[in-house]
Amino acid sequence: MSRARATLRDALPSDDAALCELFARVTMDGDLRLAVERDPSFFGLYAMQRILDQQVQVGELEGKLAGVATMLAREAWLEGAQTPVTYLGDLRLEASLRGGFFLLNHFAQGFTKFLERTGSEVGLTAIIASNEAAIKTLTKRSRRFPTKPIYRPWRKFEITNLHFTIPRRPRLGPFEVRAARAEDIPALAALMRSEWSQQPFGYVMDEERLRERLARWPGLRIEDFLCAFRGAELVGCVALWNAKAVKRFRVEAYRGSMVWIKRAFNLGAFLFRYPALPKPGQVFPYAYLTHTAVKGEDPLVFQALLDTAYERYRKSGLCFLCLCVFEDDPYAPALERYRTTPLPAQLFLVSPPGGPWAERELPEGRPGFEMALV
């Protein structure tokens, strides 16, 4: 199919069903082939967030959607101040659109205009490490595409699935961990603000925003938050959130090494009575570990929260808990007692050529990255 027939435009509300179909059709391929479902509304994941602006661009071939790429602007902490930043995500391209037309030319121009419109100077995006073709395409400079954004590797991380298998009692420690109550909301918001304001790209949080999240995030309740106390002081929190109302992962196929992993895992599930991995055609039942805020990034506080989350949700029918573990993460030792499956990925800073972030020193510290919103 000729690329000359391809057109690029902003998505319309009437594209919603076609965008959901495209997103599920262009699967995440590997030994585990997954379809990502966003129905009943592709835009539902955006509607639940407090964003400044959004742009959804689609590539069309002969009247049919063949590609999508999105940009969301939000307020974030960067270099000690609140500032607009842009997140680039939800990139799905059929083979007919891969190459210079959509990604390196038209989308690049749209990115620069979006930054100008929102007052943002830099973007953030995550790419699966095994997607070497995409990383090469995005990071390699070419005279053919002088306006192509500059993608700078920033932080490696692992999309980590912590499987609910055999019983594990919480390790002993000096902390009391319990489910949050409505009266905890002001303290939770204050803790998140204190910790997230120190993170590059950290989310801006206050009591109003936390109450808004509880109202807007489908299925997120105050009792889904776990609070860790040292005496009367709140020193850490996490929340478990099942995103099935806005996003699901459906298994298309197990291939290669995943065939044997599935057999071994499901044998253990039969013997020890924990949830088996779903069959092809079924949806993965899982929850995200979200809203992580730990005073001073104390690994023992995180350990107490994780242990309680595991004990509380092990018999919930979920297969696993999904969380983000960064390279050299102080929280990583807390996961060593559990069965986990890591998927390597990397964060990139994205800026236009000549922009202030094209060569600026990369920020240090734990990124403010909420994987559940990707």
Q: Does position 120 have pLDDT exceeding 60, yes or no?
A: yes
With respect to residue 255, please indicate whether it lies within any of the assigned structural domains: no
Same domain, 179 and 319: yes
- Per DSSP, what are the bridge partners of residue 343? 159
Same domain, 128 and 186: no
With respect to residue 57, please indicate whether it lies within any of the assigned structural domains: yes
Kindly report the CATH number assigned to the domain that includes residue 57.
3.40.630.30
Same domain, 142 and 178: no
Per-residue pLDDT of 68-91, as tens digits, reads 989 999 999 999 999 999 999 888
With respect to residue 320, please indicate whether it lies within any of the assigned structural domains: yes
Same domain, 16 and 57: yes
Same domain, 280 and 140: no
Per-residue pLDDT of 245-301, as tens digits, reads 999 999 888 888 788 888 888 888 888 888 888 889 989 899 999 999 999 999 999
Quote the pTM value.
0.91
With respect to residue 186, please indicate whether it lies within any of the assigned structural domains: yes
Same domain, 173 and 97: no
With respect to residue 262, please indicate whether it lies within any of the assigned structural domains: no
Same domain, 352 and 340: no
Query: Which range marks the domain in which residue 178 is found?
Result: 162-247+274-344
Same domain, 351 and 329: no
Same domain, 340 and 351: no
Same domain, 297 and 187: yes
With respect to residue 32, please indicate whether it lies within any of the assigned structural domains: yes
Paired tokens of 115: 């930054």
The total number of structural domains in the chain stands at: 2
With respect to residue 243, please indicate whether it lies within any of the assigned structural domains: yes
Quick one: pLDDT band at residue 189, thresholds 50, 70, 90?
very high
Same domain, 94 and 198: no
With respect to residue 266, please indicate whether it lies within any of the assigned structural domains: no
In three-state form (DSSP H/G/I as H, E/B as E, the rest C), the secondary structure along 157-196 is: EEEEEEECCCCCCCCCCCCEEEECCHHHHHHHHHHHHHHH
Q: Does position 100 have pLDDT exceeding 60, yes or no?
A: no
Q: What is the pLDDT of residue 2?
A: 43
Same domain, 147 and 239: no
Quick one: pLDDT band at residue 5, thresholds 50, 70, 90?
low
